[in-house]
Structures are given as structure tokens and as C-alpha cells.
Structure 1
Amino acid sequence: MDIKQFDGRKLLVVGGTSGIGLEVAQMVAEQGGAVVVVGNRPEKAEVARQQLAAVAGEGKAAAFAADLSNPESVQTLLAKLAAEHSDIDLLVNTAGIFYPKAFLEHSIEDYNNFLDLNRSLFFITQQVAVSLVAQKKPGSIVNVTAVAARQAIETVKAPAYSMAKMGLDAMTRHVAAELAEHGIRVNAVSPGMVETKIFERFIPGEQLAGALDGFKNFHPLGRNGTPRDVAETVIFLLSDKASWVTGAVWDVDGGVMAARKLGN
């Protein structure tokens, strides 16, 4: 591993205070980069900042809190980023919400929860790209989507979530095509079931271990993913080692998109 491959680079992670996003930020910090993370809770953002500063150095780690469902909150975030971090040249969009709900039970509020998040990611990405183009700097952007965008799962009903993730897949390819002439690469990773705290929000504590164990049977490799599994691929796509890769959506899913295990 090149421990200095991100020296002189600055990464923004939207959804970077936990899970995959925090893992990516930590790895970039370890490899010489400066990091900026965005989360939805101020106290959690500060904890993440302190953790990252311990690795990157106090002047190379920053954190912001924003409500990505609120356009005014996002505009405030964009203003802060423009004023304080115009040198961002790496971006990872991994912010997400998830809760299973059947199509026939979805409300407008449910639908808007997912699509509002996509709107925020769209315009945060746009601002980073506009800044890079104005400065004539290359950059790398990675979106975190999900296999659910292309693979329905009978026991995990999530049509609006999946629709939103498919939107991120589409944005990845279209924006990659537009920004290629500016040396800005845009890719995505599409994880399977990754064990993060997101499941704690809708699975009762006494059922969580059994549910996660059951998810293992969904993957041909026989185990759920970890944030590190996904982060390793994100790091590669961010790096110059993937300098000829753009517009790609890579499955990081334990084999789910290749085959389902028999009986599942």
C-alpha cells in the first residue's frame, strides 16, 4: 500500500461520520490526505472529526452537520464548503437512509425522504465539479449505491430506496460522460448487505443478530460485507491506480449480482 498516495489531496465524504463513509475517510487520512466529512448530527460529526484528526493531523480534518433533506441546510453547507474547502478534489457520496416498506404502503413522505437525499447529493456533486473545472484540476468522485437498485429482494421490500439508488447509478454514468473532458472521473460501487448500524434503526435489538446471520445466505460468498470491504474498492477508484476507469458501477456484493445461493 502506498501510504502517501493521497498526499496533497482533499476528500469530502457526504455521510462520513459512520459506516462506509467514515472507513473511507480514515483510510484516506492514513494515506496522507486531508478529509472533510458531513453527517446529520453535530455531536457525531465532532466525534468523527476528532477521530480523523488523530490520524491526519488537527489541520487536515474537518466535519460539518447538515440536514440533507432540507434545501436551506444544504445551501448553508455548500456555502461553508465553498468558503473553507474550495480545494476539495475527491468526493464520496455515501449518505443514505433505509427502511423496508412495501410499495402499496409507501406514503409521499416516504418517497420524498429518498428523493430529497438524491437532490442534495446531486447539487453537492455539482458544486465540487464546478470548482474543479474552474480551477482546471482533475478529480475523482465515487457514489455508493446498492445492489437493490437492480436486484429485488423478496424479504426486503424497498421500492423507493431502490429507485433512488438506481438514480445514483444513472447520475454516475451521465456525469462521468460530461466531466471526462475535464479529467474528472465519476464511478460508483454497489454493495450487497453490509453490516452497519443502519439495520439497528428498524430491526429490534433481540432480533438483530439473527437477521444479520440470515442475510449471509443471500451472498454466494457466504458472509455479509463490512464497511472495510466496500471502502477498499472506493479507495482504489479514488486513487490514480484507477486513472482509466470512469462511468463504472462496480458490484461489491459477495457475488449477489452473479448468482443467488440455492434456496434463498
Structure 2
Amino acid sequence: MSALSGKTALVTGGSRGIGRAISERLAREGARVGVHYGRDETAAKETMASIEAVGGQAFTVPARLGGPGDAEALWTAFDAQADGLDILVNNVGTVGRRERIAQVTEADFDHVFAVNTKAPFFLTQLGLSRLRDGGRIINTSTSQTRGTAKTELIAYAMTKGAIDVFTRTLAKELGPRGITVNAVAPGAVDTDMNAGWLRGEANAEAQAAVRAMSPLGRIADATDIGDIVAFLASNDSRWVTGQWIDATGGALL
């Protein structure tokens, strides 16, 4: 029997990049995975198809996140296809506009906080009645909250700092139910979101710089993060809660 057989998971932003890798890995471990997407239905269906092609189970969950009523809409879509939840992965997020403090507008600030902080907060709040005892919550953080500060990512890093606090506090509240809550903090990962500066011959210098950050001497693939999340979703991680898991390949050493 696989580690997550009989479990139901929801992965927000589960159709692309790190989210897709998480969805596919949880399904490979036996979970039935709700692949959430906000806009890209094609990508979500491709992820579902890739899971089903190797014998896994998945369904898509459409819902925009960040606005009033969005969390309720997501759960309505989820409830139509699943009865209860065992694993919640709050992965959806946006970097927003890469700007230093002088250039950040109120609209920019509100948008990145709405997607990265408000959405997972209220999604989790409404999901607790669906999450079974002994369940798992895994939040996506970033190395930016504890690593070298990047001035052009100030608003983004602040949203994830809030997620770190959310993780620790929620772990304490949900412990009596046997629910663990942890945050995974990637560094630079080779995904479509980073393709503009991390892929291709034109970005050879950036690639070399990212490789040099890790003692392992390579750039992370999305599956590297998906594998860590799968561990945190499993019973093997039952004594780990409230933790910020460095998923940078040692880049912060």
C-alpha cells in the first residue's frame, strides 16, 4: 500500500511548476488530488491527465483566489467532487511586480498580500471543518524570509513572513487534533515562472550563480520540492510540526 492511499489532497496552484510537481508526487503516493487552478484550465487538465496516465486519481478545482468570496467558491467546487480532506497544500502565490519600496503602489501591495497571505488564511479557516483529524497542512514559504534580502522583492517577502507566523501559530492550535502544519521554503527553482532569467543560453551567468549558491552545485527542479512536500504529507513526518523547512539545497549555509 502506498503512503497516502485513501487520502484526499488539495493543492492550490497545483497545475503548474512546483504545484504540478506536488500534485503528481502526492498522487504517486496514492492520494486522490484536487488540482486547483485560477486561470489556466488547460494546464490543470494536463496535470490531471498526467496523474491518471500512471494510474493515479485527480480532479480539477477551478477558483480565482485573492478576492472576496473566493475561498468559499473554491470549497464549493471542491465539495462537489470530494467528501472531506486529509492534506491541504497552500501553494498558490505570486511574486507580483519586482519593485523596491519607492515603486510599490498600494494596488501592487494589496494584490500580492491578497493572493499570498489572505487567500491561504481564509482558505484554511474554511477548510478546517473539512480537514480530518491527523491531517496535514503544508504552506509554501520562501528562502527570502531568512536568507539574503532582495530589495526588489520586499512586498513578496513580507507576505511569506506572514505565512511563516501563520504556520507556527496554526501548528499550536491544531496539534490537539493530530494535525501537523509546516512550511516549505524553496530558493530559486527551474520553473516556467523563472524561465525569463534562469533558462537558455542568454542566462548562463544567472544559472552559474544559482548553481554556486548550493553546496550540491545544481539548480533545483520542481520535483525536488514536491518530494519534500510528500514527506511532510506522510505519516513519516508525524513528529514534525510548526517548522520552516529549508528547501534551498543548502544555499543558506
TM above 0.5, yes or no, is yes
Verify the 8 A CA contact 2:10 2:35 in the aligned structure 1. yes
Q: What residue number does 1:93 align with? A: 90
Preserved CA contact (<8 Å) 1:225 1:254: yes
Q: Tell me the distance in 1 between the aligned counterparts of 2:230 and 2:106.
A: 36
Query: Structure 1 residues 153, 175: CA separation in 2 closer, same or farther (over 3 Å shift)?
Result: same
RMSD of aligned Cα (Å): 2.1
State whether residues 32 and 56 of structure 1, in contact with CA within 8 Å, keep that contact through their aligned partners in structure 2. no
- 1:141 pairs with 2:143: no
Task: Write the distance in 2 (CA, Å) between the matches of 1:109 and 1:177.
Answer: 33
Task: Tell me the TM-score normalized by structure 2.
Answer: 0.90
**233-242 or 80-89, which moves further after superposition?**
80-89
1:150 and 2:149 aligned: no
More strand by share: 2
Give, as a single letter, the amino acid of the residue that structure 2 aligns with 1:61.
A
Unaligned runs of 5+ in 2: none
In the TM superposition, what are the counterparts of 1:215-234 in structure 2 within 5 Å? 215-234=210-229
Unpaired runs of 5+ in structure 1? 259-264
SS in 1 for 2:35: strand
Residue 209 of structure 1: CA displacement? Answer: 4.6
Amino acid at match of 1:97: T
Distance in 2 separating the partners of 1:202 and 1:97: 16
- Cα deviation 1:75-129 (Å, max 9, x = unaligned): 2112222343232111111112124221211111211121101111112122222
| SS state at 2:152 partner | coil
- Which residue pairs with 2:21 in the alignment? 23
Contact 1:144–1:189 under 8 Å retained in 2: yes
C-alpha deviations, 1:208-234, integer Å up to 9, x for none?
Answer: 454333322333433221111111111
Query: Which whole-Å CA distance do the structure 1 matches of 2:231 and 2:251 have between them?
Result: 21
In structure 1, the partner of 2:189 is: 194
In the alignment, which residue of structure 1 is the partner of 2:158?
Answer: 163
| Comparing 227-236 and 213-222, the one that deviates more | 213-222
Contact residue 180 and residue 242 of structure 2 kept, 8 A: yes
Greater mean deviation of Cα atoms: 95-104 or 163-172: 95-104
- Structure 1 residues 204, 48: closer, same or farther in 2, change over 3 A? closer
Report Cα offsets for 1:113-147 as digits up to 9, x if no partner: 21101111112122222223xxx632011111101
Q: How far has the Cα of 1:204 moved from its partner?
A: 9.5
Out of 63, 73, 81, which is 1:66 matched to? 63
Q: 1:27 to 1:157 in 2, by over 3 A?
A: same
User: Quick one: structure 1 residues 64 and 207, their matched pair in 2 at CA, closer, same or farther if it must change by over 3 Å?
Assistant: farther
Residues matched between the structures, number: 250
* Cα distance change on mapping 1:147 and 1:137 into 2, 3 Å: same
User: Alpha carbons of 1:205 and 1:65: their partners in 2 closer, same or farther (altered >3 Å)?
Assistant: farther
1:65 Cα deviation from its structure 2 partner? 2.4
Q: Distance in 2 between matches of 1:172 and 1:233?
A: 16
SS in 2 for 1:89: strand
Match for residue 33 of structure 1 among 31, 34, 41: 31
Instruction: Verify the 8 A CA contact 2:197 2:203 in the aligned structure 1.
Output: no
Farther-moved stretch of structure 1 (245-254 vs 40-49): 40-49
Q: Aligned to 2:239, what secondary structure does the other structure show?
A: coil
- What displacement does 1:195 show? 1.1
Contact 2:11 2:89 in 1 (8 A): yes
1:16–1:22: 8 Å Cα contact kept in structure 2? yes
